[in-house]
């Protein structure tokens, strides 16, 4: 299995500073302000969206019963709030493209109204066996 690369805060600041020719201290201030604004907005109940990237919103988790991982004993898990990220279609396309580069999303193509029904695997196997017997 391949080891995943981890991009930490200092790596992100270095990369953005090099890409924009802006001092690292300024990049850190801007990113810090961005995350503070994002957190404040979502905590206040707003949906914060960045077109072409995605949107952040708050979700409410209900109280539920869980289990202590060490003892297996049932335990109550309190209700909580969590941040939810929903990626945009442009980001999804970039993540799933083979070239790895993001493209501007054009108008979506409409799928044909009728699609041919999928063949059943069992029917294909039976046909294959029947042809082999002949």
Average pLDDT over residues 22-43: 96
pLDDT of residue 113: 47
Q: Does residue 41 register a pLDDT over 60?
A: yes
Query: Number of folded domains in the chain?
Result: 2
- Which domain range does residue 71 map to? 47-98
Let me know: does 119 contact 126? Beta carbons within 8 Å.
Answer: no
User: Residue 27: what pLDDT?
Assistant: 96
The model's pLDDT over 81-133, given as tens digits with 9 standing for 90+, comes to 999 999 999 999 999 988 755 555 444 444 444 454 555 555 555 555 555 55
Same domain, 52 and 41: no
Tell whether the model's pLDDT for residue 61 goes beyond 60.
yes
What does the pLDDT read at residue 104?
53
Whether 120 is covered by a domain: the verdict is no
Which residue has 């109550």 as its token pair?
Answer: 76
> Do residues 53 and 93 both lie within one domain?
yes
* Beta carbons of 48 and 35 less than 8 angstroms apart: no
Based on the domain organization, do 19 and 38 belong to the same domain? yes
Query: Are residues 34 and 60 located together in one domain of the fold?
Result: no
> Following DSSP, what letter does each residue of 93-134 receive, concatenated?
HHHH-SS-------PPPPPPS--PPPPPHHHHHHHHHHHHH-
The reported pLDDT for the residue numbered 98 is 81
Distance in angstroms (rounded) separating the CA atoms of residues 83 and 55:
10
Is there a single domain that holds both residue 76 and residue 89? yes
Max Cα distance, the chain (Å): 78
Judgement on whether residues 61 and 90 belong to the same structural domain of the protein: yes
Which has more confidence, 101 or 50? Answer: 50
Q: What pLDDT does 101 receive?
A: 54
> pTM of this prediction?
0.61
- Residue at 103 is within a domain: no
Q: What is the CATH number of the domain that holds 63?
A: 4.10.520.10
Is 41 in the same domain as 54? no
Burial of 42 (0-12, 13-18, 19+ CB in 10 A): buried
What pLDDT is recorded for position 110?
A: 47
In a domain, 54, yes or no: yes
What is the average pLDDT score of the chain?
82
Per the domain annotation, does 26 fall within a domain? Answer: yes
């Amino acid at each position: 299995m391949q080891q995943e690369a981890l991009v930490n805060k200092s790596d992100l600041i270095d990369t953005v500073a090099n890409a924009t020719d802006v001092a690292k201290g300024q990049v850190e201030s801007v990113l810090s302000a961005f995350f503070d604004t994002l957190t404040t907005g979502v905590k206040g109940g707003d949906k914060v969206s960045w077109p072409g990237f995605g949107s952040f919103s708050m979700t409410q988790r209900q109280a539920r019963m869980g289990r202590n991982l060490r003892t297996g004993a049932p335990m109550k898990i309190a209700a909580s709030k969590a941040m939810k990220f929903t990626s945009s279609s442009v980001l999804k396309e970039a993540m799933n493209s083979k070239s790895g580069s993001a493209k501007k999303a054009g108008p979506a193509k409409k799928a044909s109204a009728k699609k041919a029904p999928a063949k059943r695997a069992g029917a294909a196997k039976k046909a294959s066996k029947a042809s082999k017997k002949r």
